[in-house]
Structure 1
Amino acid sequence: MKKLNNLNRFQTNLLHLSLFIITMVGTTFAGAEWMFGKSFAITGITTDEFLAGLSFSIPFLGILTVHEFGHYFTAKYYKLKVSLPYFIPMWFFGLGPSIGTMGAFISIKSRLRTRKEFFDVGISGPMAGFLVALGVLYYGFTHLPPAAYIFNVHPEYEQWGLDYAKYAYENIPEGQNFMMGTNLLFEFFKAFVVTDPSLIPNPHEMIHYPFLLAGYLACFFTALNLIPIGQLDGGHILYSMLGYKTHKKIVPVLFLIFLFYAGLGMFSMHDEVGDLLIYAPVYIFFLYWVLIRTYQNRMQTLVMAVGVFTAQFVVKSFFPEVEGYQGWLLFALLIGRVIGVYHPPAIYAEPIGWKRQVLGVMALVVFILCFSPMPFIVK
C-alpha cells in the first residue's frame, strides 16, 4: 500500500511539473511573438528569439506561481488537503494571439471551517502575487528601452520617426486595431516612477515590452480574482468580513452593477428599430440565463434582466459617449453559470477581528489599483 501511495504521489507530482514546463514553453513562445510582432508558425523561431521570450514568461509565471503558492501554504497552515498548482497551458502554436496560458489553480479538497480560514486562504494568493507584480512593474518602468526600440518590431514605422503614432494606425482594418488598457497602478508608475516620459510606449505598442506586459497581465488576473463575488478570492474576503447574511444581501447587487457596466453601450434609442427588435430580446434572454441561478424565481429573474437592459438602454440613449466593456459579459456568464454569485457559509462563523478587516480594506485598494475598466481594446 505504501509503495502504491508513493507511486500515485510521484505520478501526481509529475503531472504538476509537466504542466508547468509545458506552460513555461508556451508562455515563452507567446512572449517572443509579442516582443517581435510576428507569428513563428510562419517565420520559424531562432534560439535568440526564444531566449528573449523568457523575459516575459519568467516574470509572468513567477507572479502566477507566487499567487498560487500563497494559497497553497496558507491552506497547508490550516492543515487542509490541498494540491500543488495546476498550470493551464494555452498556446496556439503561433496560429493566433495568446499569452501561453489560461492561468493556474489549486484544488482544496477539505471543507474550510471558519471565516478566518476563508479569509486567509482567499487573501494570501492575490496579495503575494501583487507584491511580486509591483517589483516587475518597477523594473519594467525603470528599464524602458530607447523609444526607437519599437522600430525593431515595426520597421515600417521608421519612415515617420518617433511621431509614428500620428500615421501608423490610420489604415488598420476595423477589428484589428488592438491596444492594452490601463489601470491606476500603471498611471502611477507613468507619472511618478518613469524618469523620462518620452520612453513610455504608445498603448498600442505596450504589448511588445515584456516586463510591462507581464505586469499588466498580472494586474488583470489579480483584479479578476479580487472581484468580491461568489467563490473568487474577493468573494472569500468580502464574505469573511461581512458574514453570511449581510454578504448574501449585498453580493447580488454587486453582480447587477457588474452586469450593468459590462453591457452598457450595446443598445440605445438611436439604433435601428429592426436591429432592436431582433437583438434586444436575445440579449435580455442572455441576461436572464446569467441571472437565473442568482434569483431562482423565474419571474424575479426576468424582471431583473429587463431592468438591467432598460437601465443600460436609457443611460446610453441620453449619454451616447458612455461605454461599458462587453468583454466583461463573458466573465459575468462564468460567474453566473459556473462559479456562482453566493458564498457558502462557514461551519463556524466567528468574526475575523479588526486586523483582518484592515487587511480586507487593503485588498479592496489593491483591486481598485489593478482593475482596468477596459483591459483590452479592439477597434
Structure 2
Amino acid sequence: MSPNTRTYLIQGLLFVVTIITTTLAGAEWIFGNLFVYVDNPLRWSHFLQGFHFSIPFLFILTVHEFGHYFTAKAHQVGVTLPYYIPIWFGITQSIGTMGAFIRITSIVRSRKKFFDIGIAGPLAGFVAALGVLWYGFTHLPPPEYIFTIHPEYERYGFSYPQFAYENAAGNLRLGDNILFWLFKTYVADPALLPHPNEIVHYPYLFAGYLALFFTSLNLIPIGQLDGGHILYGLLGRKRFSAIAPALFVLFATYAGLGLFRPEEFSVPDDEEFFTLLAYLFFYIYFLYICLGKVADNPRTALMLSLMIVLVQFALAFLRPEWDGYPGFLPFIFILGRFLGVYHPETEQNEPLGIARIILGCLALLVFIICFSPKPFVII
C-alpha cells in the first residue's frame, strides 16, 4: 500500500468516525439524554435523529476546510485533504468532534498567499452557516415540540418558562452574538421561537450557532489562526508582530475579568484567605505559562502576568458588574503554548490590493457579528 493510499484511508476513516460521533452527540443534545451510563438511555431511533445535527454541522465544517484546500491548490501550495478529529465522551455531552484541519506541506513564501488561504475558509464556512441558520429559523417546529423533549413541561403549558427554571441547575444557554440575534429578531416566527434555554434541542439552530462560534474563534487575529493570516497579510510582519501580542494580552485580560475580586480577600477566616491566595498564585502562574512564548524573556512574561491581574483587580473594583468569560482561558492556553501568537515570516511581502483589503475588512465584520462575549452560559 502506497503512503498516499494509506493517508487517504486514514482521512476517510476519520471522516466516517466523525459522522458517527457527531450524530451521537447531536442526538444527545436534541433529547437531553445520553446513550450510556443512564437509567433510560437513548436508542437507535434517537441516533437517526442525530443526523439533523451532524449533517448541517459537518457540512459547514467541510465547506470551511475546502475553502482553504481549493485556494491553496489554486496558489500551487502543497496541501492535504482535511483530517477530521472525532471525539465522543459517552459519559457526558460533547459536540462529537474537535474540528478538522488541513496540513500545508510546502513553504508559503508569499504574504498574499497566506492571506488568500487564511480568508477563504472562514468566509466559505460563514456562507454555509448562513444557509443552515436561515433554514433552521424558517423551519421551526410547532411550540409543542418542546414537550416531546421535556414532557415534564407539559403540565405548565406554554407558560413553562415561568415555572420550569425556578430551581433548575445545569441548563446551557447560548449567548447571543449580533448575527444570531438578527436571525431571532427578524427571520424567526416569534410564535415558534424557542426559549433561549432550549435552543440546544433544535439541531439546525445549534449547529449554526456552533459554526458561528468556531468561525469567530478562527478569525481572532492572532498567530496562525485564520484571523492571524488575514491580519498578517493586511499589515505585514512588523506591525503584526506589535499588534498580535497586544491583542492576546487584551483577550487574556477579558477572559479572566471578575475571576478574582478585591472584596473576596476580606475574609475573617485565615484558612479561607490563604486558599484564595493560593488560587491567585496558581492563576498568575497559568498566565505566566501562556505568555512564556509571547514575551522576550521570563521576567517580561511575569511582569505581563502581574499587570493583567492588577488591571483585572482594578476593573473589578471600579466596575464590579463587569465580568469576563473564563471559558476562553483553555483556548488562551492553547494559543499561547501551542498555536503561537506570532506569525511565520514570509519572503515576499508585497502589499495587498484594494480587493483583498476589502475582503479583509469583510472578514473583520464577520468576526464582529459572529463573536459572542459569553458564548455558553451554565445557569
| TM-score, scaled relative to structure 2 | 0.95
* Counterpart for residue 162 of structure 2: 166
Q: Deviations over 1:112-151 (max 9, x none)?
A: 1111100000000010010000000000001111112111
Once the two structures are overlaid, the 10-residue window that deviates more, 35-44 or 366-375, is: 35-44
Q: Verify the 8 A CA contact 2:33 2:42 in the aligned structure 1.
A: no
> Aligned to 1:186, which of 170, 180, 183?
180
Q: Aligned pairs, how many?
A: 370
Shift of 1:276: 4.1
Whether 2:197 is the aligned partner of 1:204: answer: yes
Once the two structures are overlaid, the 10-residue window that deviates more, 209-218 or 74-83, is: 74-83
Shift of 1:48: 2.9
* Counterpart for residue 233 of structure 1: 226
> Aligned to 1:130, which of 126, 130, 144?
126
Matches of 2:25 and 2:210, distance apart in 1: 13
Task: Structure 2 unaligned segments of length 5 or more: list them.
Answer: 267-272
SS of corresponding position for 2:216: helix
Whether 2:287 is the aligned partner of 1:287: answer: yes
Q: Verify the 8 A CA contact 2:288 2:301 in the aligned structure 1.
A: yes
Task: Structure 1 unaligned segments of length 5 or more: list them.
Answer: none
Shift of 1:50: 2.0
Once the two structures are overlaid, the 10-residue window that deviates more, 164-173 or 61-70, is: 164-173
Q: Deviations over 1:144-197 (max 9, x none)?
A: 111121110000011111111111122224xx2322212111001111111x21
* Counterpart for residue 114 of structure 2: 118
Matches within 5 A, 1:238-249: 238-249=231-242
Shift of 1:16: 0.8
Matches of 2:156 and 2:147, distance apart in 1: 10
Shift of 1:375: 0.8
Whether 2:33 is the aligned partner of 1:34: answer: no
> Aligned to 1:258, which of 226, 251, 267?
251
* Counterpart for residue 70 of structure 1: 67
Change beyond 3 A, Cα 1:48–1:277: closer
Letter of the 1:156 counterpart: E
Identity of aligned residues (%): 53
Matches within 5 A, 1:46-125: 46-93=43-90, 95-125=91-121
> Aligned to 1:20, which of 4, 7, 15?
15
Q: Verify the 8 A CA contact 2:35 2:43 in the aligned structure 1.
A: no
Matches within 5 A, 1:143-162: 143-162=139-158
Regions of 4+ moved over 6 Å: none
Matches of 1:230 and 1:347, distance apart in 2: 18
